[in-house]
Amino acid sequence: MPKRPSQAHGVAIDPEHPGRYSSSLVAGLAMLRCFTAEHPIRGIADMADTLELGRSTTHRFATTLVALGFLEQGASRKYWLSPRASDVGIALCESMPVRRVARGHLRELRSRTGYTVSLAVLGGSEIVYIDRWQGSRQGQYAIDEGIGPGARRPVYCTAAGKAIAARLPAAEQRKLVTELKLQRLGPNTLTSKAALRAELERIATGDDAIVVEDEELLSGRRALAAAVLDGEGRPGAAVELAVPGAYAVEELVSSFGSQVSDVVGRVSSALQQQSGDQSHRSTTNSSGEV
C-alpha cells in the first residue's frame, strides 16, 4: 500500500522524495496565505500559532518577507500584505486565456443587466473570482461586499461553484465532495453531502445549463451561473450573475438565464476556436504541412 503524503503547513509532501521540497519555502508561502480578508493584519504570535511554527522562526520568515517587499510592518509591530504580494496573482489572471476571452462579454452583460457579473475558476474546494464587473443596482453592494477579484468562496454554496463541480469528471467530483466541509452560510445552504450530490446530478443531467444559487452563500443574494467548457468538455470556468434577493428564482431565470447562457456559449466557442488554431499551428510548425 502506498504511503500517504504528509502535510507541511497544508501542503502535501511526498514521503518518497522529501529532498524535492523546501520546508522553508513552504512555510514562507503559507505565511503569505494566512493573510485573508478576515485576518488582514497579524502579529508574530498569531502567525506562529496559525502556522504551527516557533516564534523565532516565524519572526525570521516575516523579516525576510518584509525585506523582499511582500509584507509591510507598522509601528504596532503587526504585519500585513504589501501591494507587491498581488503581483503573482495579477500576472496569473492576466495570463489566463479564459479571462482575456471573457472580459468583453462580461462587461457587456453587466451593462445590459446592471447587475454584477463575474468569472470564476476552481481552486481546490473553493472558487476563485478572477474577473468581476460590479453592478450598480439597488441592494447590489450589500451582496457583493468583500467579493472582488481574487476572493475565494465555497464551491457548494455558489452558483459558479456548483456549475463547475457538476461538470467535473465523476472521479474528480467524488473527490471534491468528499473533501468538502459543509457549513451553513445562508438560509438555504446545502449542509448534507447527499443533498449536494443530488443537486450536482440534477444539474449535470438537466436540459438547462443554468445553475441557480438561492440565498445559499448569504441572505439576500441570488445568482445564476453556467460553466465555460473547453474542447474536451471540461469546465474551465463559470460565468456568474449575482442579484439582490428581490427576484424570485423563476423570475431570475426567465429574465437573465438566456443572457448568461449566450455569454457562456460565446466564450466557450472562442476558447475552443483558439485551442484549435493553436493545435493547427503546432502541427504545421512540426511537420511543415497539415
5 pLDDT higher than 60: no
Residue 172 forms part of a structural domain: yes
243 and 137 in contact (C-beta within 8 Å)?
yes
The verdict on 124 and 257 lying in the same domain is yes
- Average pLDDT over every residue of 40-65: 92
Grade residue 8 by pLDDT with cuts at 50, 70 and 90. Answer: very low
Residue 100 lies in a domain: yes
Examine the domain organization and report whether 59 and 27 are in the same domain.
Answer: yes
Q: Are residues 102 and 80 in the same domain?
A: no
Q: Which of 84, 106, 125 represents a domain boundary (last residue)?
A: 84
47, part of any domain: yes
Question: What does the pLDDT look like over 235-286, one tens digit per residue?
Answer: 989 999 999 987 889 999 999 999 999 999 999 998 888 765 555 454 445 5
Q: Determine which helix (DSSP H) or strand (DSSP E) holds 268, and give its type and residue range.
A: helix 249-287
Same domain, 65 and 146: no
Q: Are residues 151 and 210 in the same domain?
A: yes
Q: Cβ atoms within 10 A of the Cβ of 270, count?
A: 17
**135 in the same domain as 27:** no
The CATH number assigned to the domain holding 211 equals 3.30.450.40
50 and 22 together in one domain: yes
Is residue 286 in a domain? no
pLDDT value of position 167? 95
Q: How many CB atoms lie within 10 A of CB 19?
A: 6
262 and 159 in one domain?
A: yes
So what's the pLDDT on residue 210?
94
144-195 residue pLDDT tens: 988 888 888 999 999 999 999 999 999 999 999 999 999 999 999 999 999 9
Domain of 22, in residue numbers:
6-84
> pLDDT category, 120, cuts 50, 70, 90?
very high
104: exposed, middle or buried (Cβ count in 10 Å: 0-12, 13-18, 19+)? exposed
Domain count, the chain: 2
Residue 14 maps to a domain: yes
In a domain, 90, yes or no: no
Q: Are residues 50 and 101 in the same domain?
A: no
Last residue of a domain, one of 29, 56, 84: 84
Q: Which residues contact 109 (CB under 8 A, 6 or more apart)?
A: 117, 133, 239, 241, 259, 260, 263
Is residue 231 in a domain?
yes
Q: Supply the DSSP string of 2-26, one letter for each residue.
A: PPPPEEETTEEE-TT-GGG--HHHH
Among residues 84, 114, 133, the one where a domain terminates is 84
Give the single-character DSSP code of 48: H
How far apart, in whole angstroms, are the C-alpha atoms of residue 204 and residue 63?
49
- The enclosing domain of 28 has a CATH number of 1.10.10.10
- Say if 285 falls within a structural domain: no
The predicted model gives 112-138 an average pLDDT of 93
pLDDT at 39 (0 to 100): 84
